[in-house]
């Protein structure tokens, strides 16, 4: 019996290996050993744990963002825009001032909303816990989350009533801060600088076209638009205007931009009634500015 | 070589040899398996997502994949229209499965011979095994334009005889609302547990018995929820796909083209609601109902069956009713384990129960012509069934599958007042399936699974002389698509 066992032992061993192969094939990544894998996120009363997101990241995210979160997944060559490099810790959609880290809720909102005109889908049907865990996992890729705290979310004053004066004032702000240079005088993303825009990694990037009815990447509510002016889209040429315009002016700009959109809106109706013309880049600045 | 010694009984291997062999194979396997863990590659190629993003395990959808499907094969990222794709992109995927399988069927009435002359018959078990092929599917689907989607699936049997399994076009997000989508053509019913995305491949394990159950001697093929049907469907869902509904009006012809079987229609409705239960995952419960009429009277011409004219198939009248209704639950227990439960209560008209209905497929021969009456004691057959399908997802690359289905007759077509009442358990079914699928690699370009499965099916009283039948099948194969 013993001799028979010895005779067949290589084959038994081989069979065992084949049987166990599937279970053994789950690969460890270097990030299993990474001290930052203990990273947490806090969204409302939910605490996300990076280690709990490992499987979901591998299932949903890794093809684009890569094993190491550097945006260098297998699809990198084919995607435009390119996937975010989480190692840099720089994010477009924030409620926090430019140059600061976003809040955990900002990242969770981006996950749920997706990013239009990119390959980033809406992950709204993941559970809140899954999203919180994934946020923690995203954070663990960058040392910034160890050395810095997220910025303090900006205050958004209550939205004022839309009036013809505000829409006209919004057009003046559009001219004053030279939005037209990238977005074009009619908001068609055809300004003189549009063709030269690049992100902070030198890749060509498009200005947003307000007239085609698309949703802005960081949300389409009036508050979302306000936030975009006042926080900027870090990593892109879209700066923060928090130091250049007052909150009231930012609301005026929101109303003017809503008037450029093709969807029916109160702002659009008022602009039509006013016969509002696009800004004239060569006109002298409005009085008092 | 020094480790191998000759003996009288053949080569003898030392323990060290065994360890080295095992270690070497383990290393090779781990290296070969270290590729990234991937479904309909046509969609995966389009969006750059791996199979695992949409599939619990290819081809079964997870809740993200279900949302993608519900959106009309769109991610809703404003890049769904083909105008955004490289013009060379052609959304086609083929799938086929070379297999080895062993099928064993009990209680088969086989002729016996004596001296080369037929002498009678004997009940015996028949077992066959060998290498084989599945049919070949060519999937093509996607968007024609933003919010205009389609799916076409020519499918063959193992001898490469093709038919249209799916042909449908869809209008999505009508009036800008995800609650209103319309689908027209031949399509899979909105079963939460999709048979077309089943994880098992054997003849009996590769279908859900609950979706195809026909009582013994019954002639109603028209209530098969698992078969793709011809019709129109209105469907919708909430933004996050937590709430879903569908309502379909179908021709009662089991998906057969050419206006076969006349003027009969079936309605199929579903509703489900999902709940976020934190770490446990997304739990979904729902209900479905299929209520319809189908023909029992076949038109004849010159005494023979009328087989159709001017592009139509056989024609029939004498519609009788049937219904199927039940509940569905999809429960997740964390990241690795889930369980789907489907229940069914079914009822056919007493006419179907007596073998009227599908004349064409040869299942029954009765024709409900003028003056036909039902035998004494005839009653509407009814039954109840339940299906449990647990999965253990070790990783997106490896899934273990189990299934238990049982269907119990609650009322036989031949009731107590019949000349020969049926046994109360006639046609009851129980079936178990276990298996696993292992995907050695996962990319956004192709899918490959090593598939191993065993199915056992028990049927009460449907064998010769009312014997019970046990059938089993063992299957191993390479299931791949590209």
The CATH number given to whatever domain includes residue A245 is 1.10.760.10
> Per DSSP, what are the bridge partners of residue B346?
B324, B383
Q: Work out whether strand A46-49 and strand A40-43 pair parallel, antiparallel, or are unpaired.
A: antiparallel
- Note whether A13 contacts B394, CB cutoff 8 Å: no
Integer Cα distance of B240 and A121 in angstroms: 12
- Asked whether residue A193 is assigned to any structural domain, the reply reads yes
- The sign one gets for the Cα dihedral A156, A162, A168, A169 is negative
| Domain end call among A147, A172, A204 | A147
Give the CA diameter of chain B.
Answer: 90
Pair A216, A178 in one domain: yes
Number of domain units in chain A: 2
| Gap between the Cα atoms of B207 and B405, Å rounded | 11
> Nearest CA of chain A to the CA of B153: how many Å?
26
Q: Is the pLDDT of residue B19 over 60?
A: no
* The predicted structure's pLDDT at residue B3: 36
Q: Tell me which chain A residue has its CA closest to the CA of residue B437.
A: A22
Whether the CB of B70 is below 8 Å from some CB of chain A: the reply is no
Residues in chain B with CB shorter than 8 Å from the CB of A3 are: 7, 9, 12
* Six-digit token string for B169: 């076009």
Contact residues, chain B, for A12 at CB < 8 Å: 18
- Beta-carbon separation of B78 and A13 below 8 A: no
Q: Is the pLDDT of residue B314 over 80?
A: yes
A139 and A180 assigned to the same domain: no
Q: Within its chain, how far is the Cα of A83 from the centroid?
A: 10
B440 reaches A (C-beta below 8 A): yes
Minimum CA–CA partner of A9 in chain B: B18
- In chain A, residues with a C-beta closer than 8 Å to the C-beta of B33 are 21-22, 24-25, 27
- The Cα–Cα gap between A276 and B454 comes to 73
Choice among A50-54, B48-52, B107-111 with the minimum mean pLDDT: B48-52
Report CB contact under 8 Å: A22, B26. Answer: no
Of A22, A59, A129, the CB nearest to B52: A59
**What number of C-beta contacts closer than 8 Å exist between A and B?**
164
B87 touches chain A (CB under 8 A): no
Look at residue A286 and tell me if it is in a domain: no
CB contact under 8 Å between A23 and B19, yes or no, is no
Q: Do A131 and A202 reside in the same domain of the chain?
A: no
Is the pLDDT assigned to residue B4 strictly greater than 70? Answer: no
Q: What is the pLDDT of residue B195?
A: 95
Q: Confirm whether A28 is domain-assigned.
A: no
Tell me the chain A residues in contact with residue B17 when contact means C-beta distances shorter than 8 Å.
9-10
| Torsion angle, alpha carbons of A236, A241, A247, A253, to 10 | -70
What mean pLDDT is predicted for residues B265-276?
97
Looking at chain A, which residue has its C-alpha nearest residue B332? A127
Q: In whole numbers, what is the pLDDT of chain B averaged over residues?
A: 89
Do A44 and A123 lie in one domain? The reply is: yes
Phi, psi of B452 (to 5 degrees): -135, 130
Average pLDDT over residues B114-124: 95
Spatial contact of B389 and B426, defined as CB atoms under 8 Å apart: no
Residues of chain B positioned with their CB less than 8 A from the CB of A59: 50, 52-53, 396
Domain around A249: 164-274
Strand partners, B55: B61
* 3-class state of residue B447 by DSSP: strand
CB atoms within 10 A of CB B325: 15
Cβ contact A56–B335 (<8 Å): yes
From the list B21, B50, B68, which residue is nearest A14 (CB)? B21
Interchain pair A60, B53: CB under 8 A: yes
One domain, residues A138 and A176: no
Mean pLDDT of all residues in chain A? 88
Rounded Cα distance, A181 and A234, in Å:
18
**Distance of residue A20 Cα from the nearest chain B Cα, in angstroms:** 9
Out of A22, A62, A122, the one facing B438 most closely (by C-beta) is A22
For the record, the structure tokens of B473 come out as 């099948």
CB contact under 8 A, B76 and A114: yes
Q: Which helix (H) or strand (E) holds B30?
A: helix B15-32
- Which pLDDT score is estimated for B297? 92
Q: Where does B281-356 have alpha helices with state H?
A: 350-353
Mean pLDDT for B280-286 is 95
Q: Which residue has the higher pLDDT, B58 or B383?
A: B383
Whether A266 and A169 map to the same domain: the answer is yes
Domain shared by A139 and A231, yes or no = no
Is B238 part of the contact surface with chain A (CB cutoff 8 Å)?
A: no
Task: Give B14's pLDDT tier (boundaries 50, 70, 90).
Answer: low
Which H helix or E strand runs over B51?
helix B51-54
User: Each residue of B69-92: b (16+ CB within 10 Å) or e?
Assistant: bbbbbbbbbbbbebeebeeeeebb
Per-residue pLDDT of chain A (289 residues; tens, 9 = 90+): 555 556 655 555 555 544 444 444 444 455 544 678 899 999 999 999 999 999 999 999 999 999 999 999 988 888 889 999 999 999 999 999 999 999 999 999 999 999 998 989 999 989 999 999 999 999 999 999 999 999 999 999 999 999 999 999 999 999 999 999 999 999 999 999 999 999 998 999 999 999 998 889 999 899 999 999 999 999 999 999 999 999 999 999 999 999 999 999 999 999 999 999 998 888 776 655 4
Beta bridge partners of A209: none
Helix (H) or strand (E) holding B457: strand B447-459
- Calpha distance A156→A226 (Å, rounded): 8
CATH value of B92-126+174-481 in 3.20.20, 1.10.3470, 1.25.40, 2.40.160: 2.40.160
| Domain termination site, one of A147, A181, A202 | A147
Q: Does B83 touch chain A (CB under 8 A)?
A: no
| DSSP SS3 for B328 | strand
Q: Find the residue in A nearest to B441 (Cα).
A: A25
A222 and A254 in contact (C-beta within 8 Å)? yes
Q: CB distance A119–B50 less than 8 Å? A: no
Give the domain-ending residue among A147, A176, A211.
Answer: A147
Q: Where are the domains of chain B?
A: 1-30, 92-126+174-481
Q: Which residue of A has its CA nearest to B16?
A: A10
Check CB contact under 8 Å for A23 and B394.
yes
- Whether the bond between A81 and the residue before it is cis, its omega within 30 degrees of 0, is yes
Contact B282 A125 (CB under 8 A): yes
CB A125 to CB B10 under 8 A? no
User: CB–CB of A24 and B26 under 8 A?
Assistant: yes
Closest CA in chain B for residue A3: B12
Map chain A to HEC letters.
CHHHHHHHHHHHHHHHHHHHHHHHCCCCCHHHHCHHHHCEEEECCEEEEHHHHHHHHHHHHHHHHCCCCCCCCCCHHHCCCCCCCHHHCCCCCCCCCCCCECCHHHHHHHHHHCCCCCCCCCCCCCCHHHHHHHHHHHHCCCCHHHHCCECCCCCCCCCCCCCHHHHHHHHHHHHHCCCHHHHCCCCCCCCCCHHHCECCCCCECCCCCCCCCCCCCCCCCHHHHHHHHHHCCCCCCCCCCCCCCCHHHHHHHHHHHHHHCCCCCHHHHHHHHHCCCCCCCCCCCCCCC
Which pLDDT belongs to residue B188? Answer: 97
Give the pTM: 0.84
B77/A115 Cβ within 8 A: yes
The Cα B432–Cα B205 span in angstroms is 8
* DSSP annotation of B464: G
CB–CB of A182/A207 below 8 Å?
Answer: yes
Q: Which of A16, A27, A119 sits opposite B48 (nearest CB)?
A: A119
- Classified as helix, coil or strand, B54 is helix
Which residue of chain B is at minimal alpha-carbon distance from A66?
A: B36
What's the whole-number mean pLDDT along residues B442-468?
92
- Does the beta-carbon distance from B394 to A14 stay under 8 Å? no
- C-alpha B363/C-alpha B218 separation (Å) is 8
pLDDT at B329 over 80: yes
Residue to mutate among B15, B43, B48, B281, with most A CBs inside 10 A, is: B48
∠ at Cα B381 (B380, B386), nearest 5°? 140
pLDDT of B445: 79
Residue B210 · residue B405 · CB < 8 Å? yes
> Does the pLDDT of residue B266 top 50, yes or no?
yes
- Residues from chain A that touch B21, judged by Cβ atoms under 8 A, are 10, 13-14
Q: What's the first-to-final CA gap in chain B, in angstroms?
A: 44
Domain CATH number, residue A83: 1.10.760
> Are the Cβ atoms of A13 and B21 closer than 8 angstroms?
yes
Work out the pLDDT band at B440, boundaries 50, 70, 90: very high
Residue A14 falls within a domain, yes or no?
no
Please, which residues 110-139 of chain B have a Cβ atom closer than 8 Å to chain A? none
Q: CB contact, 8 Å: B236 with chain A?
A: no
């Amino acid at each position: 019996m013993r001799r028979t066992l010895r005779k067949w032992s290589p084959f038994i061993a081989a069979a065992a290996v084949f049987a166990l192969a599937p279970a053994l094939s789950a690969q460890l990544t270097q990030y299993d050993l990474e001290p930052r894998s203990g990273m947490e996120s806090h969204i409302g009363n939910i605490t996300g744990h990076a280690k709990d997101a490992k499987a979901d990241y591998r299932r949903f995210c890794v093809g684009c963002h890569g094993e190491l979160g550097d945006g260098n997944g297998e699809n990198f060559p084919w995607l435009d825009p390119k996937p975010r490099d989480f190692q840099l810790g720089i994010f477009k959609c924030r409620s926090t001032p430019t140059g600061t880290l976003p809040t955990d809720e900002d990242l969770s909102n981006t996950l749920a909303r997706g990013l239009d005109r990119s390959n980033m889908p809406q992950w709204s049907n993941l559970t809140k816990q899954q999203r919180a865990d994934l946020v923690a996992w995203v954070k663990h890729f960058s040392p910034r989350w160890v050395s810095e705290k997220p910025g303090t979310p900006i205050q958004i004053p209550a939205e004022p009533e839309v009036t013809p004066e505000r829409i006209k004032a919004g057009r003046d702000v559009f001219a004053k801060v030279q939005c037209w240079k990238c977005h074009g005088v009619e908001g068609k993303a055809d300004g003189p600088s549009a063709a030269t825009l690049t992100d902070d990694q030198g890749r060509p990037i498009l200005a947003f076209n307000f007239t085609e009815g698309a949703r802005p990447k960081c949300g389409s509510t009036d508050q979302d638009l306000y936030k975009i002016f006042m926080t900027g889209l870090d990593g892109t040429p879209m700066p923060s205007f928090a130091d250049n315009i007052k909150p009231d002016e930012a609301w005026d700009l929101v109303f003017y931009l809503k008037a450029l959109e093709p969807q029916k809106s109160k702002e659009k109706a008022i602009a039509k009634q006013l016969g509002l013309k696009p800004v004239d880049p060569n006109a002298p600045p409005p009085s008092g500015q | 070589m020094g480790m191998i010694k000759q003996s009288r009984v053949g080569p003898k291997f030392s323990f060290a040899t065994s360890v080295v062999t095992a270690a070497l194979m383990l290393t090779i396997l781990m290296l070969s398996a270290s590729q990234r863990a991937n479904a309909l590659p046509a969609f995966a190629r389009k969006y750059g997502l791996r199979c695992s993003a949409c599939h619990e395990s290819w081809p079964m959808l997870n809740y993200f994949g279900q949302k993608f499907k519900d959106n009309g094969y769109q991610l809703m990222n404003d890049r769904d229209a083909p105008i955004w794709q490289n013009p060379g992109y052609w959304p086609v995927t083929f799938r086929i499965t070379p297999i080895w399988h062993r099928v064993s069927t009990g209680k088969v009435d086989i002729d016996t011979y004596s001296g080369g002359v037929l002498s009678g018959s004997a009940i015996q078990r028949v077992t066959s095994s060998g290498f084989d092929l599945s049919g070949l599917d060519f999937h093509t689907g996607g968007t024609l334009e933003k919010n205009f989607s389609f799916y076409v699936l020519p499918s063959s049997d193992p001898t490469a005889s093709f038919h249209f399994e799916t042909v449908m076009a869809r209008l999505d997000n009508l009036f800008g609302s995800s609650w209103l989508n319309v689908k027209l053509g031949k399509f899979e019913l909105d079963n939460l547990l999709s048979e077309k995305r089943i994880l098992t491949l054997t003849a009996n394990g590769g279908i859900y018995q609950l979706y195809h159950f026909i009582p013994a001697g019954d002639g109603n093929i028209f209530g098969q929820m698992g078969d793709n049907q011809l019709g129109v469907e209105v469907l919708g869902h909430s933004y996050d796909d937590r709430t879903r509904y569908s309502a379909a009006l179908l021709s009662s012809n089991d998906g057969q083209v050419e206006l076969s079987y006349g003027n009969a229609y079936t309605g199929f409705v579903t509703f489900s609601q999902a709940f976020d239960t934190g770490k446990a995952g997304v739990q979904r419960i729902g209900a479905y109902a299929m209520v319809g009429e189908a023909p029992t009277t076949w038109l004849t011409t010159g005494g023979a069956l009328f087989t159709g004219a001017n592009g139509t198939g056989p024609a029939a009248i004498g519609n009788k009713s049937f219904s199927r209704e039940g509940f569905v639950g999809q429960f997740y227990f964390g990241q690795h384990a889930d369980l789907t439960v489907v229940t069914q209560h079914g009822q056919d008209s007493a006419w179907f129960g007596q073998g009227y209905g599908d004349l064409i497929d040869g299942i029954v021969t009765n024709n409900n012509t003028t003056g036909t009456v039902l035998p004494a004691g005839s009653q509407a057959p009814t039954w109840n069934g339940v299906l449990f399908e647990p999965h253990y997802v070790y990783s997106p690359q490896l899934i273990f599958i189990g299934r238990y289905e049982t269907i119990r007759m609650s009322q036989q077509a031949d009731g107590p007042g019949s000349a020969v009442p049926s046994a109360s358990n006639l046609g009851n079914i129980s079936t178990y399936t276990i298996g696993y699928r292992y995907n050695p690699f996962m990319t956004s370009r192709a899918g490959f699974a090593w598939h191993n499965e065993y199915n056992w099916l028990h049927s009460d009283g449907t064998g010769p002389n009312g014997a019970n039948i046990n059938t089993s099948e063992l299957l191993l194969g390479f299931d791949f698509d590209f």
